[in-house]
């Protein structure tokens, strides 16, 4: 399992692995929003938590189809399926690799980009924490979606259609934590719910992804 | 005679062929009676005026939109556990019906909301979760269309339906948490206080019966179609192989 | 014959029109596809019996 994780990480960091792509996309979204809604600081600081969450979510979505597509093309996935490793483990490791290469950089970059959007000073810690709790869920749910569409020729658009509705609870609770944090309100309730959604997704979805992979490779 | 006998496609088609005509007639009768009763012979509400008549479409459509997804969930579980093809195809057949019901519920709601709340759309929890439900229907149908192998498609959509149900339920509560509602409480409940008045209640019940019957009839018809389409594909494949 | 719908006639009528239109559309579409698929199956089955 660790070998598989290291291999995925190495592949992602290598040139052409698309490591920085998600980050660049995140940056572009954050730059485009003020251009679209106007440079008014008060407005920007009010919508900053939501924008940052949506930006992170879309950046996450961008790299999902890579999770299984390349492995499927060169046959690695078939080899992995015959390996002694359980399919659930493979799905979990793939999700973890996706989170380390996409989710974690986004979490680290979000506070920096928050400066661009005039995020209130109290909000930085909560934004960071909510993304840290929420992005793993985005990765596991995304892995499930990627597994569903791996066998399809043009799965890219379908992948977004399948995954985005599943992102709704995470987005709502996550953005709520960041917003309340920025406004100095109590954040315990959404924070606990966000953590609950993430942990539930982490615990259950690898099984669903594994079931899907078994069907696809049949 | 157990329910599982209808898992046999031939028996299912024979049974539904027999049941479909009376079912369709009954559905049309209920709908016509309920809607005419509601439209022509109920008084206006003292606050809502004549817009109260929209309830006869809105409430049944909403009920069926949710129950169609529930039916798909049950059918998906039956497919996963017992692998009856009819079950998987019934889930596939129900999805467009459910999606249409969702659109009706949203459209009538918007048309009612415009004069009553002064807005077509509000990001109210009930409205928002219905929109999300519609997205789930879209994704489910798109996945069915995208996969060529029938059994793979049935398996994957069933799993999506299971996972989707959990997340749809989660979204429902998440959305509740996110915004306070504008929408009124339940129109139909055992708690009398909350209920709509009797004059509206009885035609509404007839309309609901009509929608349920219509849904069942449509699902039977569409499941038959799916079974036949599948058999056609199988026969053509066999011809090619021979 | 027509009940007095008051100020909201447009809203009520358009709600009925939209809903009934959608339902009829769905039914017609289902029936049309059922007929087509049934015809296709009949054709294939007859062809299969002849050979």
DSSP B174-236: HHHHHS---S---SS-S-GGGSPPHHHHHHHHHHHHHHHHHHHHHHHHHHHHHHHHHHHHHHH
A142, A162 Cβ separation under 8 angstroms: no
pLDDT of residue A208: 93
- The whole-number pLDDT of residue A136 equals 94
Range of the structural domain that residue A42 is part of: 2-217
Sign of CA dihedral A11, A15, A17, A22: positive
How far out from the chain centre does Cα C7 lie?
Answer: 31
pLDDT at residue B4 tops 80: no
pLDDT > 70 fraction of chain A, expressed in percent and rounded: 97
From A195, A106, A103, select the one nearest A142 (Cα to Cα). A103
Cα R_g (chain B), whole angstroms: 20
Interface partners of B (3+ CB pairs, < 8 Å)? A, C
pLDDT at res. B190: 47
Q: Where are the alpha helices (DSSP H) in A14-103?
A: 21-37, 41-62, 66-73, 76-82, 87-98
Q: Which residue of B has its CA nearest to A208?
A: B159
CB contact burial B96-119 (16+ within 10 A = b; e otherwise) = bbbbbbbbbbbbbbbbbbbbbeee
pLDDT for residue A198 is more than 90 = yes
Residue A124 has pLDDT above 60, yes or no: yes
Q: How far is CA A81 from CA A70, A215, B238, in A?
A: 15, 11, 31
pLDDT, residue B196, reads 64
Question: Cα(B238)–Cα(B241) distance, rounded to whole angstroms?
Answer: 5
- Minimal-distance CA residue of chain C relative to B50: C5
- Lowest pLDDT segment from A11-25, B12-26, B27-41, B133-147: A11-25
pLDDT class of A17 with cuts at 50, 70, 90: low
Q: Would you list which residues of chain A are within 8 Å, Cβ to Cβ, of chain B?
A: 144, 148-149, 151-152, 154-155, 158, 161-162, 164-166, 168-169, 172-173, 176, 189-190, 193, 197, 204-205, 208, 211-212, 215-216, 218
Q: Phi then psi for B49, rounded to 5 degrees?
A: 65, -145
Cα separation, B195 vs B125, whole angstroms: 20
Q: How many independent structural domains does chain A possess? A: 1
d(CA A53, CA A60): 11
Q: Which residue bears the tokens 């179609």?
A: B225
Give the closest of B114, B222, B232 to C11, CB-based.
Answer: B114
Q: How far is CA A183 from the centre of its chain?
A: 25
Instruction: Identify the CA nearest to B12 among candidates B235, B158, B222.
Output: B222
Confirm or reject contact between C28 and chain B (CB < 8 A).
no
Touching check for C44 and chain B: CB below 8 Å? yes
Q: Has residue A115 got a pLDDT over 80?
A: yes
Contacts of B77 (CB under 8 A, 6+ apart): B158, B162
Q: Which of A3-7, A214-218, B9-13 has the lowest mean pLDDT?
A: A3-7
Give C47 to chain B, closest Cα distance, Å.
10
Q: Do C11 and B44 touch (CB under 8 A)?
A: no
What residues in A contact B164, CB-CB < 8 Å?
Answer: 165-166
Task: Over range B98-108, report the average pLDDT.
Answer: 94
**pLDDT for B203:** 86
How far from A62 is each of A17, A127, A159, A160, A164, CA to CA, in Å?
13, 21, 10, 9, 12
Residue with tokens 């961008």: A62
Residue B187 above 90 pLDDT?
A: no
Looking at residue B222, its pLDDT comes to: 94
pLDDT band at residue A68 using 50, 70 and 90 as cut-offs: confident
The confidence score (pLDDT) of residue B209 equals: 93
| The predicted structure's pLDDT at residue B164 | 92
Instruction: Calculate how close chain A gets to B224, using CA atoms only, in Å.
Output: 26
Least confident among B40-49, B57-66, B148-157:
B40-49
Mean of pLDDT values over B22-27: 94
pLDDT of residue B149: 85
Q: What is the pLDDT of residue B216?
A: 95
Q: Vertex A40, ends A37 and A44: CA angle to 5°?
A: 70
Which residue from B114, B224, B235 is facing C44, i.e. has the nearest CB? B235
User: Partners of B45 in the beta sheet?
Assistant: B49
The predicted pLDDT at position A185 comes to: 82
With beta carbons less than 8 A apart as the criterion, state whether A138 and A89 touch. no
With an 8 Å Cβ cutoff, the interface of chain B facing chain C consists of 35, 39-40, 44, 49-51, 53-54, 57-58, 61, 96-97, 100, 103-104, 107-108, 111-112, 114-115, 214, 218, 221-222, 224-225, 228-229, 231-232, 235-236, 238-239
User: How many whole angstroms separate alpha carbon A12 and alpha carbon B136?
Assistant: 31
Question: Which of these, B88, B225, B94, lies nearest to B147 by C-alpha position?
Answer: B88
CA angle, corner A130, sides to A148 and A10, nearest 5?
A: 55
Instruction: Give me the percent of chain C exceeding a pLDDT of 70.
Output: 84
Tokens at A178, concatenated: 């960041």
Q: What is the mean pLDDT of residues B207-224?
A: 94
Q: Which residues of B touch A (CB under 8 A)?
A: 132, 135-136, 138-139, 142-143, 146-147, 152, 155-156, 159-160, 162-164, 166-168, 170-171, 174-175, 177-178
Residue B6 is predicted with a pLDDT of 75
Distance set, CA A120 to CA A56, A182, A183, A193, C19 (Å): 19, 6, 8, 23, 47
For residues B183 and C30, the model is more confident at C30
C4 — pLDDT class (breaks 50, 70, 90): low
At C14 the three-state DSSP class reads: helix
For residue range A145-167, list pLDDT tens digits in order: 999 988 787 777 899 999 999 99
**CA atoms of C43 and C33, how far apart (whole Å):** 15
Lowest mean pLDDT, pick from A112-126, A189-203, B89-103? A112-126
B76 versus C47: the higher-pLDDT residue is B76
The minimal CB distance from C26 to the residues B218, B232, B238 is found for B218
Whether B57 shows a pLDDT value over 80: the answer reads yes
Spell out which residues of chain A touch residue B138, defining contact as CB-CB under 8 Å: 161
Mean pLDDT of chain A: 87
Section B146-156 average pLDDT: 88
pLDDT in tens, A26-51: 999 988 988 998 888 888 888 888 89
């Amino acid at each position: 399992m660790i070998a598989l994780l290291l291999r995925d990480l190495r592949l992602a960091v290598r040139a052409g692995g698309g490591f920085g792509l998600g980050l660049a996309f995140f940056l572009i979204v954050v730059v485009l929003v003020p251009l679209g809604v106007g440079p008014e600081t008060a407005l920007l600081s009010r919508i900053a938590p939501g924008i940052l969450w949506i930006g992170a979510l879309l950046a996450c979505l961008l790299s999902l189809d890579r999770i299984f597509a390349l492995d499927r093309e060169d046959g690695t996935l078939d080899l992995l399926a015959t390996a002694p490793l359980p399919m659930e483990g493979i799905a979990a490791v793939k999700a973890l690799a996706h989170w380390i290469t996409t989710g974690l950089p986004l979490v680290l970059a979000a506070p920096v980009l928050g400066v661009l959007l005039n995020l209130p000073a109290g909000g930085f810690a909560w934004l960071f924490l909510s993304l840290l709790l929420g992005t793993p869920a985005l990765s596991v749910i995304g892995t499930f979606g990627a597994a569903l569409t791996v066998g399809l020729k043009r799965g890219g658009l379908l992948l977004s259609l399948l995954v985005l509705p599943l992102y709704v609870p995470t987005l709502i609770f996550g953005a709520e934590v960041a917003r309340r944090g920025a406004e100095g309100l109590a954040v315990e309730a959404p924070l606990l719910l966000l953590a609950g959604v993430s942990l539930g997704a982490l615990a259950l979805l690898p099984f669903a992804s594994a079931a899907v992979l078994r069907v696809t490779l049949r | 005679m157990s329910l599982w006998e209808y898992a046999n496609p031939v028996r299912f088609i024979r049974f539904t062929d027999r049941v479909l005509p009376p079912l369709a007639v009954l559905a049309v009768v209920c709908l016509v009676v309920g809607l005419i009763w509601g439209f022509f012979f109920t008084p206006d509400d003292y606050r809502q005026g004549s817009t109260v008549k929209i309830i006869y479409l809105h409430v049944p459509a909403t009920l069926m939109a949710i129950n169609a997804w529930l039916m798909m969930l049950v059918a998906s579980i039956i497919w996963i556990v017992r692998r009856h093809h009819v079950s998987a195809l019934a889930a596939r057949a129900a999805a467009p019906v459910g999606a249409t019901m969702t659109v009706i519920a949203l459209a009538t709601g918007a048309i009612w909301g415009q004069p009553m709340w002064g807005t077509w759309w509000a990001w109210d929890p009930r409205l928002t979760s219905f929109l999300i439900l519609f997205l789930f229907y879209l994704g489910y149908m798109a996945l069915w269309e995208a996969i060529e192998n029938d059994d793979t498609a049935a398996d994957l959509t069933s799993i999506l339906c299971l996972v989707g149900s959990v997340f749809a339920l989660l979204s429902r509560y998440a959305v509740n948490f996110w915004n306070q509602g504008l929408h009124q409480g339940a129109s139909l409940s055992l708690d009398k206080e909350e209920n709509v008045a009797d004059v509206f209640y009885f035609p509404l019940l007839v309309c609901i019966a009509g929608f349920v019957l219509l849904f069942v009839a449509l699902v039977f018809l569409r499941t038959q179609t799916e079974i036949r389409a599948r058999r056609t594909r199988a026969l053509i494949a066999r011809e090619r192989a021979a | 014959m027509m009940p007095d719908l008051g100020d909201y006639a447009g809203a009520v009528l358009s709600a009925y029109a939209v809903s009934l239109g959608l339902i009829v559309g769905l039914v017609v579409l289902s029936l049309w596809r059922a007929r087509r698929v049934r015809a296709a199956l009949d054709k294939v089955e007859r062809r299969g019996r002849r050979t």
